[in-house]
Amino acid sequence: MNYQFPNRPRRLRDHPVLNPMMTELRLSDNDLVLPLFVTEEREEIVAIPSMPEQFRWPVERLVEKIIEWRSLGLRAFALFPHLDASKKNEEGKEILNPDSLVYRAARRIKEEADDIALIGDLALDPYTSHGHDGILSDDGRVDNDLTVEALCKASTLAAESGFDLLAPSDMMDGRILKIRETLESAGFTQTGIISYSAKFASSYYGPFRDAIGSQGRAPIDKSGYQLNPANFREAARELHLDALEGADMLMVKPAEPYLDVIRHARERFHLPVAAYQVSGEYSRLWAAHQEGWLDLDKCMLESLLSIKRAGADLIFTYFAERAIALI
């Protein structure tokens, strides 16, 4: 049959030269942030079983590796500490130790590679014996204001250590304003804040909690401060508040399950938007690949493209090294 269709979108898709020329967006090395786990082990790199090809890095080995990653085109890194249990307590006081692991790591990294962007996580969960992101009150709930006070003190230590951006990931009320005021008062006017503004109480965080050693004996219920996965309007309110309080960048976490929230942040605010492709998103693709069900690289790139298409300017992803070899 010889149909006469005026609209044939396949004309461009079916042409081997024109098809790639019509690509609407592309991933680049400037889109990616590599999250890293630093450990107090002195020499051994420790594999994380629930996160294939991810490791806990001793400080000196991490410095060497960051220099290697920099040569490949990765320029932004987010640090998360894995502390010995002996350094954890109910209040997470180790976060206020100027010689704590993550501060020492930041100083060493910046000594050897000052032309990278280093992002410091601001939260108490790596430091508390109970694994929550804050200081608990007598009734077992996280005390918002005491936690904010601790985070403000930690923010100056992190800025002094060389972090370019601080990333409060705790979801306490009002903490962006208070951290910004603390940094300004201490003279750290150039230290930016990338706020975990819409961080959901997700089931996708399990491998990360294994990686930093905050899992505990039983699953931790953080629904008292992280967002209900069903609540879009509440997420929009949190984004709005953090923008008002002085965040330099807004974060949505996890990424792919919340593309609608990323799109809202992109359309509503005149701030850069970051999205965190979390450990569970990473590990589920790996698990399906290991079973022979999915092509890891193709699914990885499709997932990252969907996050960027939704509106993310930066993507925190454990796939960063793998992706940069393919884009």
The whole-number pLDDT of residue 316 equals: 98
Mean per-residue pLDDT for 284-302?
A: 98
Mean pLDDT in residue range 124-141: 95
Cα within 13 Å of Cα(279), Cβ side: 22
Under DSSP, the state recorded for 35 is: E
**Domain coordinates in residue numbering, the chain:** 26-324
**Which residue is catalytic, options 88, 178, 222, 253?**
253
Please list the alpha-helical segments (H only) found in 88-174: 101-112, 144-161
- Cis peptide, bond prior to residue 254, ω within 30 of zero: yes
| 287, pLDDT greater than 80 | yes
Between the alpha carbon of residue 117 and those of residues 34, 74, 77, 113, 180, the distances in Å are 11, 10, 6, 9, 19
pLDDT (tens digit per residue) in 196-252: 999 999 999 999 888 888 765 567 899 999 999 999 999 999 999 999 999 999 999
Helix (H) or strand (E) holding 19: helix 18-21
Percent of the chain with pLDDT over 70: 99
What pLDDT, on a 0 to 100 scale, did the predictor assign at position 209? 85
CATH (residue range 26-324)? 3.20.20.70
Which candidate in 88, 199, 222, 308 is catalytic? 199
Predicted pLDDT at 218: 64
Q: Which of 6-15, 28-37, 209-218, 291-300 has the lowest mean pLDDT?
A: 209-218
Lowest mean pLDDT segment, chosen from 3-7, 174-178, 245-249: 3-7
What Å distances lie between residue 60 and 10, 95, 113, 248, CA to CA?
53, 21, 13, 31
Q: What's the confidence (pLDDT) of residue 2?
A: 84
What pLDDT is attached to residue 41? 75
Sign of the CA dihedral with 125 first, then 129, 130, and 135 last: negative
Q: Report percent pLDDT > 90 for the chain.
A: 93
Position 318 scores a pLDDT of: 98
- Compute the mean pLDDT over every residue in the chain, rounded to the nearest whole number: 95
Instruction: Tell me which of 2 and 227 has the higher pLDDT.
Output: 227
DSSP β-bridge partners for residue 274: 251, 314
Is 253 part of the annotated catalytic residue set?
Answer: yes
